[in-house]
Structure 1
Amino acid sequence: MTGDEAYFVVWGMHPALGYYDHPPMVGWWLTALLALGKSAWWLRMPALLLSPFMAWGIMRILRPHTGTLAYLTATLFLISPVSLYNVFITTDTPVIFFIFLSGWAFYEASRSERLRDYMLAGLAVGLGMLSKYFEGLMAVAIASYWALIDRRVKAFLGLMLVAGISSLLFAINLYWNYEHCWDNYLFNLANRTHKGFTFSGPPLYLLTLLYLFTPPLLYGLYSVRGAIWQRAREPLVGGFVVFSGIPLLLFGLLSFKNVIGLHWLLGFYPFVFILFGAVTNWLSHRSSLVFMAIFSALHILLLGTLLSVPVPDLKFIGKNYSMVVLGTQTDRIWKDAEAYAVGRHLATRGYASAAILEYHTGRHFAVFGSGSDHGREDDSLTNFIHWNGQNVLLISTNNLPVSVYAPYFDHVQKRVIDVDGASISLILGNGFRYPVYRRTILTQIRAKYYHFPSWLPVGACPFTQRYFGGIR
């Protein structure tokens, strides 16, 4: 279980209307899954089923227009490397699902003008916005479809229905943010957007697109660019040009400021395959299938080789080796540490290690220290006021000296356990000094992660109210 996955599993263990980093959908899904089990394969089931579902959807969309060629297009998508290795349960899983569903539903609505299709599109957009804000780009694409392709009055009324339903659902997120320091705003738009103009961003973005869609597929689309232009008014061609092109163009503009992560693009990835299937012939499919099969086989060979390497042979990765050991040998580490845990609060220095340990042990692990701009949900789960004067066990993969922890405890001891050549530190802190921790660490966290603009109306901010007696 990776650190990010375990972090979202912790969300599922603590169901809420929202979480610091993102809207709540993946947490809700995991709450439902955890009710029936906690095995990694079970919790990953939505991600495992996602690519087959979208391949089936691609086939269903294309088959009335391209016949049996639709099965080749769906197969091309299904054997792409991303479809094969995108099996991790993260916030991307539900938003990819709802982006695809909203595009599919709005495409059907534009053809049929059925009320239920517009309602389904609105529901999908709203639930997507409760998953991750990338769904907002899909909302822009849907509005652009009406402006560029279909300006009928009925289509406009359908668009308003989509906007109304999705806005009602998104209001849940707005209310939660109003009552929780606008955490999602701070994380997504403030705390990690300090980069200025970058020349490397656009070339990296273009390389990412080339990797995702592969040269044969892109060449196939380029070779029929005239046919795409001629058929741009058709819902199938024009629709999926807009559904894929508008978000990818916006990401391109954003690449001048931020590096665009590959996973950011995955919600709009299937729409390019639909467009490819709609406008290219059997020969283009054949060349793309041959390339994709070889390309994916190389990925399988590489990943299979890496996964078959024994953990002790991975020491060459350096300082990250201890984190690999923590993620793969968690039960062994906890077996050695559990005896020290009696009568102590549990903690680590980072959200990934805390989440991994909580997933495997069922015990809550707090994040001790200022942490990073990612994974700040523990700010709402742990109340350090209640730790005052009490004892703590901190498990760390960083071999930091005792002096780092000494200011926050009356007495500190350090034990080191060796697991597969990795040194895991057990910090035993007696008599936690909350006033010192508040004056240094918590004050630093407030200044760095809870400094929202004065113009933003705030109903409540549990973190600042708990530790500093006021919202701001």
Structure 2
Amino acid sequence: MRHQSPSSWAAICIFIAAVVHFALGFSIEFSVDEAHYVLYAKHLAWSYFDHPPLVGWIQWPLVSLTSSEGIIRLIPEMLWILSAYLVYQVTLEIHHVLQGRNAGYLTTALPSASLCGLMAVLAIVAAPLPHVLAIGLLPDTLLTPLSLGLMWMALRWIRKDVVSMADWLLMGLLLGLAGLSKYTAVFTAFALLLVFLSAPKKPWLNTMGFWFAALLALIIISPVLYWNWVNDWISFKYQIAHGSGGTWAWRRVAAFIGIQIACFGPLLLIGLFIFVKDCLRSNKVILVALLSFFFIPFTIFAALSGGGGLPHWTMPAWFCLAPFVGIGLAKAWVMKGRLTIKIIFIVQVLICLLGFSFVLAGGINSAAIKSNPIADLYGWKIAGQKAAQLAQASKVEGIAVQNWTLGSRAAWYASPLPVFVLDQRKDQFDLWFGGLPNGASVLLMNWSGMAFNPPIGGNRAFERCEPLESLEVIRFGQVLSRFDFSLCHHWQDAGTPR
């Protein structure tokens, strides 16, 4: 590190990670969520059943030009680079606030701003889960740089205490785009409001720019509101039910916290502890308000995890925490804590590299392991093409699957054939392709990783199904999974409520 400045090392680390993301992006097929959101771009709409529309809109130009997974994945890769850059810049802004002559927050001197920025970037680069969202575009991939952008604007307001009209409009634009990315952007909006409320005086309430920013954000999210109004608010109803999960249990909260540490790494927690211990002392109202960009969403998701949740939902919050972590780690670095930081960083990077290797190898198939999640990333392209050939040769209505997670890859790789999901859950596929008509015949596609018996007999079933072909997915000599294709005749839906 003596031969490069901290800012140069931050750029080098971001570049190396980006090259790895680029290589992996061309090596594997779409995951279930990626395919679902790429279908958003194929079926442009004002909004969608389960998420706001920006995750589809932003992919539309590339999806219109190509079906290459690697090219389409340039979008999340660039968003990850932007997020890492914003982590560095926000760290510099927080450093300036802490060093401000009127701040009075510190009892000891801080390391250089560039070293703090480097440590913040290293904490992100060494976090395993964000690399997944850097390769596959999810709404959280979008919300992360937008949340950091809003945090940066809040820091600009803190430092200047006066915001120009251009800054207000930029803030409204970022807030509106965040709302178009994911409904949980409301947590970021609360954190931003808390920063404004933390000031002793509230001059912004009488500023035209504040109200213009609020109006601009409302205009930007109006397509989501209009679409839900037309569709009986189905997206909001779904998200409320999805967020509440099942029966609440403390063990799920404990599991959620443990999974969070494993997915994002202990380096972030160590940096946070040092920052709170050494930097969060007197006059801490502003700092606590800024930390709410992490604590508000994380606390809510942790509470909801008692009923169920997914680990990547907190990624924007962890990225907003990284600047504080960087300052804490930089203090430990200059106070003879280098060995500990080096060891933890190397261990986390090795875990990331091990994960990349498993993905490229196709995971491990073993009797000791209940399932191989990596198998889900291989075989869908050739299976979708085979399904399309069989469906066209059989002259059926389309392709059928028995769970929506099987439908997204089938719909992408067998496009433009319609894909019907035969479960009783109303979802986006019903809006795209409608329900399977009574009396219809389809090609039933089954995957060994989520196998179902053909629906024969009953209120929602076929009259008969005939096996056609099977397809084994083999990678490096090991069988990852198997696809079975059946020709099913005369669908009958007795009107079971959905």
TM-score range, shorter chain: 0.7 to 0.9
- The amino acid of 1:33's aligned partner reads L
Larger displacement relative to structure 2 (361-370 or 31-40): 361-370
1:244/1:269 contact within 8 Å kept: yes
Q: Cα 1:284–1:85, aligned 2, differ >3 Å: closer, same or farther? A: farther
Identify the match of residue 227 of structure 1 among 260, 276, 279: 279
2:198/2:289 contact within 8 Å kept: no
Identify the match of residue 27 of structure 1 among 56, 61, 68: 56
2:216 paired residue number: 165
2:144/2:319 contact within 8 Å kept: no
2:113 paired residue number: 67
- The amino acid of 1:269's aligned partner reads W
1:127 paired residue number: 177
Using the alignment, how far apart are the partners of 1:213 and 1:355 within structure 2? 28
- The amino acid of 2:323's aligned partner reads I
2:398/2:442 contact within 8 Å kept: yes
Residue 392 of structure 1 and its aligned partner are, at CA, apart by 1.8
Q: Cα 1:339–1:123, aligned 2, differ >3 Å: closer, same or farther? A: same
Q: Cα 1:277–1:444, aligned 2, differ >3 Å: closer, same or farther? A: same
1:187 paired residue number: 238
Q: Cα 1:340–1:263, aligned 2, differ >3 Å: closer, same or farther? A: closer
Larger displacement relative to structure 2 (16-25 or 294-303): 294-303
1:345 paired residue number: 397
Q: Are 1:151 and 2:151 an aligned pair?
A: no
1:451 paired residue number: none
Q: Cα 1:408–1:217, aligned 2, differ >3 Å: closer, same or farther? A: closer
The share of aligned pairs that are identical, in percent, is: 18
Using the alignment, how far apart are the partners of 1:332 and 1:378 within structure 2? 19
Using the alignment, how far apart are the partners of 1:292 and 1:306 within structure 2? 21
2:419 paired residue number: 366
Residue 25 of structure 1 and its aligned partner are, at CA, apart by 0.9
* CA-to-aligned-CA distance 1:155-190 (integer Å, 9 cap, x gap): 674554443322222232111101012121121113
Using the alignment, how far apart are the partners of 1:147 and 1:336 within structure 2? 57
TM-score, with length taken from structure 1: 0.80
Using the alignment, how far apart are the partners of 1:338 and 1:93 within structure 2? 35
Identify the match of residue 204 of structure 1 among 250, 255, 262: 255
Residue 127 of structure 1 and its aligned partner are, at CA, apart by 1.2
2:345 paired residue number: 292
1:77 paired residue number: 124
* CA-to-aligned-CA distance 1:210-242 (integer Å, 9 cap, x gap): 3355445433433443531325255xx455323
Q: Cα 1:362–1:323, aligned 2, differ >3 Å: closer, same or farther? A: farther
Residue 21 of structure 1 and its aligned partner are, at CA, apart by 0.7
2:108 paired residue number: none
* CA-to-aligned-CA distance 1:310-358 (integer Å, 9 cap, x gap): 8xx6374889679937842531563376144332122222223222122
Identify the match of residue 110 of structure 1 among 158, 161, 176: 158
Q: Cα 1:251–1:231, aligned 2, differ >3 Å: closer, same or farther? A: farther
2:188/2:293 contact within 8 Å kept: yes
Residue 132 of structure 1 and its aligned partner are, at CA, apart by 0.8
Q: Are 1:38 and 2:97 an aligned pair?
A: no
1:416/1:423 contact within 8 Å kept: no
Q: Cα 1:298–1:181, aligned 2, differ >3 Å: closer, same or farther? A: same
* CA-to-aligned-CA distance 1:120-166 (integer Å, 9 cap, x gap): 12211111111111100001111111222453313674554443322
Using the alignment, how far apart are the partners of 1:92 and 1:79 within structure 2? 18
1:394/1:427 contact within 8 Å kept: yes
2:322 paired residue number: 273
Q: Are 1:94 and 2:134 an aligned pair?
A: no
- The amino acid of 2:57's aligned partner reads W
Using the alignment, how far apart are the partners of 1:294 and 1:409 within structure 2? 53
SS in 2 for 1:200: helix
Using the alignment, how far apart are the partners of 2:457 and 2:125 within structure 1? 50
SS in 2 for 1:243: helix
1:240/1:274 contact within 8 Å kept: no
Using the alignment, how far apart are the partners of 2:420 and 2:405 within structure 1? 9
Q: Are 1:426 and 2:482 an aligned pair?
A: no
Q: Aligned pair count? A: 431
Using the alignment, how far apart are the partners of 1:209 and 1:12 within structure 2? 31
2:10 paired residue number: none
TM-score, with length taken from structure 2: 0.76
Using the alignment, how far apart are the partners of 1:82 and 1:184 within structure 2? 27
1:79/1:292 contact within 8 Å kept: yes
Residue 19 of structure 1 and its aligned partner are, at CA, apart by 0.8
- The amino acid of 2:34's aligned partner reads E
- The amino acid of 2:385's aligned partner reads W
Using the alignment, how far apart are the partners of 1:251 and 1:325 within structure 2? 26
2:119/2:327 contact within 8 Å kept: no
- The amino acid of 1:3's aligned partner reads V
Larger displacement relative to structure 2 (279-288 or 10-19): 279-288
CA root-mean-square deviation: 3.2
1:462 paired residue number: none
